[in-house]
Amino acid sequence: MKTNLPKDTTYLESFYFDTSKESADHLCNLVLKGIKKATASSLYHYEATDEKMPKVGDYSVVTNFRGEPFAVIMTTKISIIPYKDLTFDVVKREGEDETLESWQEKHQRFYEIDGKESGYSFDQDMPVVFEDFEVVYKEKETCK
């Protein structure tokens, strides 16, 4: 992928959202359309793995489920908020759900699966790393 960023730009990671092809490609499309402007990870995940936690100014490559690059995002804000304290005003920036309840249902399921794979347990007090980002480069207009 050739971007408009300087050649010496370093990237925190290359990744796709969620755990299934259907969801990953759908969320990639939401990023490209400017609807999805944030993501939410478990702080426990970062503590249990060797993954670096994002920080403001980091660049990451968003891919489809097959790992093909479609966009570069830059982290613009990091907030660490207990899961139980997340409000719809915050989570709606993810662009995925119409209600807080829907967001909670999907994300609790995700955190439970991720926790089993990464070695942590989900609980209502779990700190969530809420990452706001902006798209700084698009390879294409849709993830296919």
Q: Considering only residues 139 and 127, tell me which one the structure prediction assigns the higher pLDDT.
A: 127
Q: Is residue 143 part of a domain?
A: no
Domain that holds residue 18: 13-138
Q: Tell me, what's the pLDDT at 2? A: 75
How much is the pTM?
Answer: 0.91
As a 3-state breakdown, the chain gives helix, strand, coil percent values, each rounded to 5, of 35, 25, 40
Average pLDDT value over all residues in the chain:
94
Length of the chain: 144
Q: What is the pLDDT of residues 34-79, one digit of tens each?
A: 999 999 999 999 999 989 999 999 999 999 999 999 999 999 999 9
Own/partner pairs for 86-93, CB < 8 Å, 24+ apart? 86/40, 86/128, 86/130, 90/130, 91/40, 91/130, 93/37, 93/38, 93/132
Per-residue pLDDT band at 6 (split at 50, 70, 90): confident
Per-residue pLDDT band at 5 (split at 50, 70, 90): confident
Per-residue pLDDT band at 140 (split at 50, 70, 90): confident
The answer on pLDDT for 82 being more than 80 is: yes
Q: Considering only residues 41 and 139, tell me which one the structure prediction assigns the higher pLDDT.
A: 41
Q: What is the pLDDT of residues 96-128, one digit of tens each?
A: 999 999 999 999 999 999 999 999 999 999 999
Q: Is residue 35 part of a domain?
A: yes
The β-bridge relationship of strands 59-63 and 127-138 is: unpaired
CA proximity to 110, closest of 134, 89, 83, 88:
83
Q: Tell me, what's the pLDDT at 20? A: 87
Q: What is the CATH number of the domain that holds 77?
A: 3.10.400.10
Q: Is residue 6 part of a domain?
A: no
Instruction: Count structural domains, the chain.
Output: 1
Element of type H or E holding 3? none
Q: Is residue 144 part of a domain?
A: no
